[in-house]
Structure 1
C-alpha cells in the first residue's frame, strides 16, 4: 500500500459517483467515468478554462470553450494546438479517493526541449510558450533555448530572414530585461521562426568544390564575381569551400561583406543588416550550424535592389560618381588598426554635416577623416547617432509609412557600426558612406522637425511603468518622449527605462521593424555608455528618445500574440485563469 502522507484526499467514492466530477485542492479535477476515477489539472492547457465544466464521453474529456479534446487517462490531447493536460495518479482505498498532487507526466529539461522542437515543427504557439517557461524555470540558459530556434530556422525555408533576425535580436537584449520580459522575448523570436518555417521544405546544401590549391584571395574573388552576376549556387559552393578550407571567422565575414558592399545599400539596408545578425547568431549557435547559417545568407544576394540604379541616388544630385571616387581612396588605406579618435570639433562638424543637406561635402569630410587616420568605428558610430536623431526629429505630420525609412537608415547604420567593430577591411568602409547618403535622402522627413521633448513634471523616478500607460493610447509619440525626458530629469535609472521599453515592445503584436529598432537602440546605447562626458550623455538620451518615439508610434496593437506566453507563465505558476462566479 502506498503511503498517503503527501496525497490529497478527494472525498468518498460514493459522493463522486453522485457528482460525477469535483475540484480538489491544488486545482485538480477528479472525474468518475465508466466505473473508474481519473484526475487531471482542471485548467485547460489551451487557455486555462475549467475542465470540470466540460463533458466526458467514451474516455474523451472535451473543453467546451474551444472544444479541445483530451484522453482523460493520460492527459494527451487529440488537438495538438491545445497541448497535453497534466494527469494525476489516483488510489481508492476503503471507499475513499486519494490523488497524487504531482502529475504523472511531469516534465524535465529534456522533455521541455523536445516539446519546444515539436512546437517549432508544428507551429503551435502555446507549446512553444510552455516550453520556454519550463526551460527557463529549469535553469536552462536563454542562449541555449534560442539555439534550438536558430538551428530549426536555418534548416528549413529558403534562407535568412526577418524571423531569424528577430530571434537573434531578442536573445541579445535579454540581459537588459526582467524575467517576464525575457520569456516574452524568446517566445516572440521562436514563434516568428515557427510561423515562417514550419511548413517549409528542408534546405539542402550544395557540396564544396573539390580540393585544390586555389588561394584564399582567388576564392574571395570568385565569391564576389558569382554574386556580381547573381549566381547564388556558384557563390554557395565557393563559400562552403572556404569554410571547409578553414577560413577564419573574420576572413569569411570579410569575404561575404565585400560582396554585400560591392553594390550600394542593397535592399534598403536589409541585406547588410541581415548579414550582421547572422554573424551574431553564430556566437549563439552550435558550431555545427556554421555552414547552414552562413549559406542561408547567399540567397539574399540573388536579386537585391542596388541603390546606385535608383533615381534618387543619381538625381537631382549625382551621388554615385562621388562615392566611387571616394572608394578609390579607401583602397590606399593599408591599416585601420591604429586610428585616432575624433576631436570634439570634428565630432560636432561631422554630426552637423550628416544631418544637413550638403551630401558632397559630407562624402568629402568622411574621406578626409579616414585618410587623416580617424577611427572608422567612431565615424560609423556617429552615422548611427545621426540616424537616431532623424527618428527623434521625425514629425508626426509625415506619412505614417515613412517611419520605416528613418528606421531602415538607423538599423543599417547600427549594423555597419557593429561590423566595423569586428573587421578593419578598408573596403567595408563603403558601408559607412551608404549610411551617410541614406541619412541625406531622409532629410525631408525632418521638415518640419518634431519638437524637442519637454520634460513632464511629477514623474516618479522609481517607477518606469508610467510609460506603458501612455502607450496604451494610439499615437502618443510626443507625449511618450516628454514622459521619458521627465523620468530622466527626475533621476530615473536608464536601466529601468530600457526594461520598460522592452515590455512596451513585447506586449504588442509587434512588426519586424520594431524589434530591430529596440535592439539597435539598446546596442548603440551600450557603446555610448562605456564613454563619458556631455557628448555621451546627449547621445544616450537621443537613443532612448528614438526608441520611445518609434515604439509609441506603433502601439497599441491587438496584443493577441503575447497572450500565449502570459498564459503559459501563469499555468506554470499554478494560477487560476478563470474563476467561477
Structure 2
C-alpha cells in the first residue's frame, strides 16, 4: 500500500468500538486489533498468499492466518514461518479514547529488503519467497545483472561447484533482451529456483589458497594446471588457478588456460564440461570480475572424473576416430594462423554443412584442417558446426527413442559454447574443440535415419502473423512437434516478426516446469539466431530459420508439463499487485 509522506494519521474509531469485536479493518487494508489490553495495527493481507488477517486467530500475541497457518508477532509483524514473509506493522496512538494509526509501515519494502529475502529464499529453497523477491526487484527497476549476482554468489559459495542450476541462471540472463517483463520475471525466477534446488542442504564451499612466493609465468601455470587436470588433481589445479588470478591474468588468459585442459581430452561429459566453462565466463561478464575467484574455482571439480569420449567404443569402432583427430591436432600445434582470416563464402558454407552432416568423418576432419590452414576463421567454422548440429534437431524423427532428443541437444549446445569461446580466442589447441563437435555430429547421424521432413513455410496454410501466441495454443497439447514446426515455418514465410516469435518461444519454455536441457536449447538457439541475423544473405536467413525451427521442435517435444513453477511466479506477481487470490472460486 503506497502512501504519501504528508498523509495524516488515520482515525480508526474509538477504543470501545474496537474492543467490541476485537478487531477492525480501516482505510481499505489495515487491521487494527485489541489484544491483552493493547492496540496493534498490521497490514490485513497475509504476506504469504494474501488472506485477510482479521479473519485469523490472535492468541498470546501470535496472529495466525487461517489459510496456511502462517504465524506473526502482532506487535512487530515478524513471522515465525520463514516461508511467509513479515507482515507490515503500523504505529498506533490513543487520544481521548480515539485510536489513531500511522499509515506508513514501520518497515517499508525496499530494494535491500527484497535482496535479503532473495538470499533467504535461496538458502532455504523457498520458491514463493524467491518469486516474490524477483517480482519486487524487477518492479523496482533493479537490473538483471544485480539480481543474478545474488544467485551466482550464493550458488558458487555453496555445494560442490558449478552445475546445471548456475548454467540455467546464466542462460536466462543472456536471453532477457528477447523477453517482455513477464518473461523476464519468469526467466530470473526459474534460474534462481534451480540454483536453490541444487544447493538445498549443501554446505559452504571454502576456497584453497594460491601458491605463495615469487611470480610464476602464466605459461608455466598453464602447464601446471593442465598436468593437474590430466591426473585428476583438482586441489592442485585450484591452487594453480587462484595463483594465476592473483597474479593478474586476464579473463581471456584464464579462459584459455582452463579450456586447454578441457580440450586435452575429447568431448568431456557429453559436452557439458565445455558448456559449463563457457557459461561461467559469461556469468562473470554479467556480474563483474570481482567474482572471478569464487566463480572459476567452482568449475575445477567438474574435471575430477569426467567421461573422456576417446575412451568410448563408438569413438574407436567401427571407424577409429581418435587417431585421425590426434594427427590433425599435431598439425594444429604448429599451425601459423593468418593475421587476417579469410571469410568463407556462402556457397562454400553450404557445402561445408552438407559435408558435416555426411557419413564421411575422415573426409570431414581433413576438410576442417585444410580450411584452417587456408586461413578460415575458427569462429566461422564453429558457427557452421553449430548450424549442422541444429539441422540434426530439425531433422530428428519422432520415431526415435524419446531420450535421444538429449543426444542431439548436447551436441548443439556444446557446438554453441565452442562458437562463443572461439569468437574470443583462436588458440591453436583450443580449436581442437571444433573437431570434437564435428565427430559428435557424425555419431548422431543415426538419429536422422529416417530423417524428418524439414517444414516448408510455403506449403502450409496462411498463418496469422499478428498472433504469435497461436504457437502456445499448439503446445498445450502433447507431442505437437510436426505441427508446431510447420506453424513456425509458415509464420516466418508469411513475414512474421522473429523477435515476437523469440519472445513467444521464451514463454513456451518458461511457462513449463522445464528441465535443464530445455533452457540450454532455447538460449543457444537465440544466440546462434542473433549471429546469423547480422547477415542478410539467403544462406544466413536459412540458417536463422534452422535455429528457430530447432528450438520449436525441441520445446514442443517436451511440453506440456504440470506448470507448477510458473504458477508460483504468477501468484507472486498478483500478490505484488494487491490482487485477492482467496476470493476466487
- TM-score class, shorter: over 0.9
Decide which of 306, 319, 322 is 1:320's aligned counterpart: 322
Runs of 4+ in 1 over 6 A off after TM superposition: none
Mean CA deviation greater in 4-13 or 102-111: 4-13
Structure 2: how far apart are the matches of 1:142 and 1:580?
33
Structure 1: how far apart are the matches of 2:88 and 2:504?
34
Segments of 5+ residues of structure 1 without an aligned counterpart are: none
Given that 2:18 and 2:24 are in contact with CA atoms closer than 8 Å, whether structure 1 keeps it comes out as yes
CA spacing shift, 1:319–1:34, aligned 2, 3 Å = same
Mean CA deviation greater in 14-23 or 143-152: 14-23
Pairs within 5 Å for 1:276-315: 276-315=278-317
Structure 2: how far apart are the matches of 1:5 and 1:426?
69
CA spacing shift, 1:556–1:90, aligned 2, 3 Å = farther
Decide which of 504, 509, 512 is 2:508's aligned counterpart: 504
Structure 1: how far apart are the matches of 2:482 and 2:534?
28
Question: 1:486 — aligned with what?
Answer: 490
Decide which of 117, 120, 123 is 2:122's aligned counterpart: 120
CA spacing shift, 1:341–1:286, aligned 2, 3 Å = closer
Q: Deviations over 1:324-371 (max 9, x none)?
A: 111122112222541111123321111111112111111111111111
Decide which of 530, 535, 548 is 2:534's aligned counterpart: 530
Segments of 5+ residues of structure 2 without an aligned counterpart are: none
Query: Normalising by the residue count of structure 2, what TM-score does the alignment of the two structures yield?
Result: 0.94
Question: 1:577 — aligned with what?
Answer: 581
Pairs within 5 Å for 1:221-370: 221-370=223-372
Structure 2: how far apart are the matches of 1:170 and 1:528?
20
Question: 1:208 — aligned with what?
Answer: 210
SS where residue 581 of structure 2 aligns? coil
SS where residue 357 of structure 1 aligns? coil
Structure 2: how far apart are the matches of 1:451 and 1:510?
26
CA spacing shift, 1:94–1:496, aligned 2, 3 Å = farther
Query: Normalising by the residue count of structure 1, what TM-score does the alignment of the two structures yield?
Result: 0.95
Given that 1:337 and 1:424 are in contact with CA atoms closer than 8 Å, whether structure 2 keeps it comes out as no
Structure 2: how far apart are the matches of 1:97 and 1:42?
17
Q: Deviations over 1:466-502 (max 9, x none)?
A: 2222222221111211222232233221111111111
Structure 2: how far apart are the matches of 1:301 and 1:470?
42
Given that 1:54 and 1:63 are in contact with CA atoms closer than 8 Å, whether structure 2 keeps it comes out as yes
Structure 2: how far apart are the matches of 1:325 and 1:352?
24
Given that 2:14 and 2:98 are in contact with CA atoms closer than 8 Å, whether structure 1 keeps it comes out as yes
Structure 1: how far apart are the matches of 2:321 and 2:192?
41
- Aligned-pair CA distance for 1:215: 2.8
- Aligned-pair CA distance for 1:373: 1.0
- Aligned-pair CA distance for 1:249: 1.9
Question: 1:554 — aligned with what?
Answer: 558
SS where residue 61 of structure 1 aligns? strand
CA spacing shift, 1:171–1:458, aligned 2, 3 Å = same
Structure 2: how far apart are the matches of 1:97 and 1:398?
72
- Aligned-pair CA distance for 1:9: 5.4
Question: 2:401 — aligned with what?
Answer: 399
Given that 1:122 and 1:198 are in contact with CA atoms closer than 8 Å, whether structure 2 keeps it comes out as yes
CA spacing shift, 1:291–1:467, aligned 2, 3 Å = same
Structure 2: how far apart are the matches of 1:500 and 1:275?
29
- Aligned-pair CA distance for 1:6: 4.9
Asked if residue 62 in structure 1 is aligned to residue 64 in structure 2, the reply is yes
Given that 2:215 and 2:247 are in contact with CA atoms closer than 8 Å, whether structure 1 keeps it comes out as no
Cα RMSD for the two superposed structures: 2.1
Decide which of 429, 432, 455 is 1:453's aligned counterpart: 455
CA spacing shift, 1:580–1:210, aligned 2, 3 Å = closer
Q: Deviations over 1:387-446 (max 9, x none)?
A: 111111111111111111110000000000000001010111110011111111111111
CA spacing shift, 1:302–1:25, aligned 2, 3 Å = same
- Aligned-pair CA distance for 1:11: 5.3
Question: 2:481 — aligned with what?
Answer: 477
CA spacing shift, 1:580–1:521, aligned 2, 3 Å = closer
- Aligned-pair CA distance for 1:25: 4.6
SS where residue 400 of structure 1 aligns? coil
Mean CA deviation greater in 90-99 or 37-46: 90-99
Given that 1:151 and 1:285 are in contact with CA atoms closer than 8 Å, whether structure 2 keeps it comes out as no
Structure 2: how far apart are the matches of 1:425 and 1:54?
66
